[in-house]
Amino acid sequence: MKPQMICANCGLRGVPKNYTRGNAYIKVVTWPLSTFARYQGCPGCGAENMVPLDSPRGRQLVEAFAKFEAERPRTLRLGDEVCYLKGWFVRPASGPDLGPFTTREEAEEAERGSAGAGYVYFAEGWFIRPINSPPLGPFQTRDEAETTGRKG
């Protein structure tokens, strides 16, 4: 079993995924020559900076992302719903997250249209979906989302 890792880019915890650099045309043309580069990256955002959870840097990232999540405002108000979502999201440089989007390409297009300097990530789990604003989460369980939402 592969060791659990954390992405330094988006904070996703999991096992790295295999990727191939380049667009589809380049991959098809160079496939017989095997000249395209492969790498392991985050299953959510595709970044190459996955760090083992049990390393000093991994523990530092876990703390940093936990602090970031703890500081995000979460309050359930009348009309808010707790729902299970799976998809691509955009975390802009400022402002709330956007999404979910069905494909990574849709999310990247939204990221280009936002203030920029943000990043695209994949998430699956329980979210608080406030009225007229993007979802907050993900949470591992529905109960965790509801409890966290009531704390605010």
HEC sequence for 23-44: CHHHHHHHHHHCCCCEEEECCC
Say if residue 49 is in the same domain as residue 34.
yes
- Domain boundaries, position 132: 73-151
Domain boundary (16, 37, 69) is at: 69
For 77-88, the pLDDT digits (tens) are 656 778 788 888
Determine the Cα–Cα distance for residues 6 and 12; give it in Å rounded to an integer: 6
Tokens standing for residue 43 = 């299953």
Say if residue 46 is in the same domain as residue 83.
no
Mark the ranges of the chain whose per-residue pLDDT is less than 50.
152
Is the model's pTM score more than 0.75? Answer: no
Say if residue 92 is in the same domain as residue 104.
yes
Residue 55 is which amino acid? S
- Per the CB < 8 A criterion, the answer to whether 99 and 74 are in contact is no
* Residues in CB range of 109: below 8 A, 6 or more apart: none
Position 144 scores a pLDDT of 81
Number of domains into which the chain is organized: 2
* Residues in CB range of 88: below 8 A, 6 or more apart: 99, 100, 101, 102, 103, 104, 106, 107, 120, 121, 122
Domain boundary (69, 95, 114) is at: 69
Say if residue 43 is in the same domain as residue 87.
no
Say if residue 62 is in the same domain as residue 85.
no
For 32-55, the pLDDT digits (tens) are 665 556 788 887 777 888 899 889
